[in-house]
Amino acid sequence: MLDDESQYHTLLRNPARRRVIEILGTQEKIGFKELKETLGLGVGTVYYHLDMLSSYLSQDKQRKYRLNDRGLLLYKSLKGGSSPPSTLELSETFGHRLIRWLFLAPVFSRTVLPLRLLPLALLILLFGALGSAFASSQSLLFFYSPFTNFQFETTTLLYLFNWISLFFFSDLIHYVVFKRTGGDLQLFVCIGIASLPIALFPYLYMFFSYEIARYLLLVLVIWTMMLLSSAYSFSKGLRLDKSIVLSLFVLYLNVAILFALGRLI
């Protein structure tokens, strides 16, 4: 028997994770690319399931995955017919639907085929860039300066530059810290969608006083952090706890840079 029956049921409730255990149980070891092709899932999704199963897997010198002792026990239990029924994940039950929509999980889950949602991501970025220019409010990534000396075109480009820079920085961090490669287009699409709350702010700023707008911006920044965490989770397969920490780190860097430049007001 497994040492944690509840964890066992949580892990194997998902058919993709059961399939990973079955593949490794029959083939002994497999590389990431081959596993991805066998499962027919996106890069981020495969990374996510491997991360969830990390306590049951190991990697050899060729970085091929194999079951460790706990994984072999899990496989034997699965073959013994004691696997839980194939039902929805806990996160998809009725009580968690509101949270899923706050994180836009149903939208991000469709980015497995990123080209389909690429136009939406580009439209959101352009929407935010034009809003920043119309409001004459310079984008500082998650924040705004209430005034700008730049022309309309420059303000628009600065907004786009900030979010494209965030994409490259995020991709680098995922590679250096988490050794995650691939899924770059999906990451770009997810970050574009995650920018939606910040893209809304310039339009609100034009209708409210600056004092009210500052409080609205705080709410939108929190929502953006939630969406950015979801973006990292879906595109690069990070568990949500790790992706939230990474999002907060990005926010900290944003605040630190603005403070150093004297732009934080």
Q: What pLDDT does 42 receive?
A: 83
Alpha carbon separation from 131 to 7, 79, 155, 221, 255 (Å, rounded)? 47, 57, 10, 16, 22
Instruction: Walk me through the domains of the chain, giving residue ranges and CATH numbers.
Output: 5-87 (1.10.10.10), 96-260 (no CATH)
Would you call 13 helix, strand, or coil by DSSP?
A: coil
Q: What pLDDT does 76 receive?
A: 82
Nearest Cα neighbor of 173 from 115, 228, 218 is 228
- pLDDT above 70 for 2: no
Q: What pLDDT does 5 receive?
A: 56
Cα 203 to Cα 152: distance, rounded to the nearest angstrom? 15
pLDDT tens readout for residues 44-84:
888 888 888 888 898 888 888 998 888 888 888 777 765 54
pTM of the model: 0.80
Q: What is the dihedral of CA 125, 127, 132, 135, to 10 degrees?
A: -170
- % pLDDT > 90, the chain: 46
What does the mean pLDDT of the chain come to?
A: 86
pLDDT tens readout for residues 173-223:
999 999 888 889 999 999 999 999 999 999 999 988 878 888 999 999 999
